[in-house]
Amino acid sequence: GTGSAMLVGESGTGKTTFINNLFRAYHGQDLLPAHAKGGASTLASRFRSDPGSLCTTFTVEDADERTKMHYAVQDTPGYGDSFDTAKRLHEIVEFVHKQKLAYFELERALRTEYQPDPRIDVCLYFIPPHRLKEVDIGFMKELSAVVALIPVIAKADSMTTDELLSFKRHIMAKAQWHGITFFEFSADAVSAVGGSETGCVPPFAVISSEDVDFTEMPGSFWPVRSYLWGTCQAFNRTHSDVPLLKQLLLEDGYHDIRASTNVRYDAFKTEQMARGCCKLSRYMARRICLSRHRAQAKPSKMSCCMRALLAIASCAVLVLLVILATASALQHGWKDPQQWNRIKAHG
Regarding whether 210 and 93 lie in a shared domain, the answer is yes
| First-last CA distance in the chain | 20
Residue 28 lies in a domain: yes
Choice among 40-44, 89-93, 204-208 with the minimum mean pLDDT: 40-44
Regarding whether 202 and 148 lie in a shared domain, the answer is yes
Regarding whether 179 and 44 lie in a shared domain, the answer is yes
Residue 102 lies in a domain: yes
Regarding whether 71 and 18 lie in a shared domain, the answer is yes
Using the 3D structure, point to which of 252, 286, 313 is the last residue of a domain.
252
CA distances from 224 to 31, 206, 212, 215, 227 (A): 18, 12, 6, 11, 10
Tell me how many degrees the CA angle 158-159-164 measures, rounded to the nearest 5: 140
Regarding whether 131 and 17 lie in a shared domain, the answer is yes
Q: Which residue range forms the structural domain that includes residue 117?
A: 2-252
Regarding whether 89 and 22 lie in a shared domain, the answer is yes
Residue 264 lies in a domain: no
Regarding whether 328 and 183 lie in a shared domain, the answer is no
Report how many domains make up the chain.
Answer: 2
| Residue 314 CB burial class (10 angstroms; 0-12, 13-18, ≥19) | middle
pLDDT-derived band at 325 (thresholds 50, 70, 90) equals low
pTM of the model: 0.76
Regarding whether 160 and 87 lie in a shared domain, the answer is yes
Regarding whether 224 and 314 lie in a shared domain, the answer is no
Residue 257 lies in a domain: no
DSSP H helices, the chain, are: 15-27, 40-49, 85-108, 134-144, 161-177, 187-192, 242-250, 254-294, 300-332, 337-346
Residue 66 lies in a domain: yes
Residue 233 lies in a domain: yes
The per-residue pLDDT for 107 is 84
Residue 266 lies in a domain: no
Residue 198: how many other CB atoms lie within 10 Å: 7
Residue 321 makes CB contacts below 8 A (sequence gap 6+) with 274, 277
Using the 3D structure, point to which of 252, 287, 309 is the last residue of a domain.
252
CA distances from 9 to 32, 137, 187, 236 (A): 16, 11, 28, 24
Residue 231 has pLDDT above 50, yes or no: yes
Q: How far apart are CA 247 and CA 249, in angstroms?
A: 6
Choice among 75-79, 237-241, 259-263, 280-284 with the minimum mean pLDDT: 280-284
Residue 177 lies in a domain: yes
Using the 3D structure, point to which of 219, 252, 285 is the last residue of a domain.
252
Regarding whether 215 and 337 lie in a shared domain, the answer is no
Identify residue 315 by its one-letter amino acid code.
C
Residue 37 has pLDDT above 70, yes or no: no
Choice among 34-43, 83-92, 148-157 with the minimum mean pLDDT: 34-43
Regarding whether 243 and 276 lie in a shared domain, the answer is no
The per-residue pLDDT for 28 is 60
CATH of the domain at 50: 3.40.50.300
Regarding whether 204 and 289 lie in a shared domain, the answer is no
> Residues 184-207: what's their mean pLDDT?
81
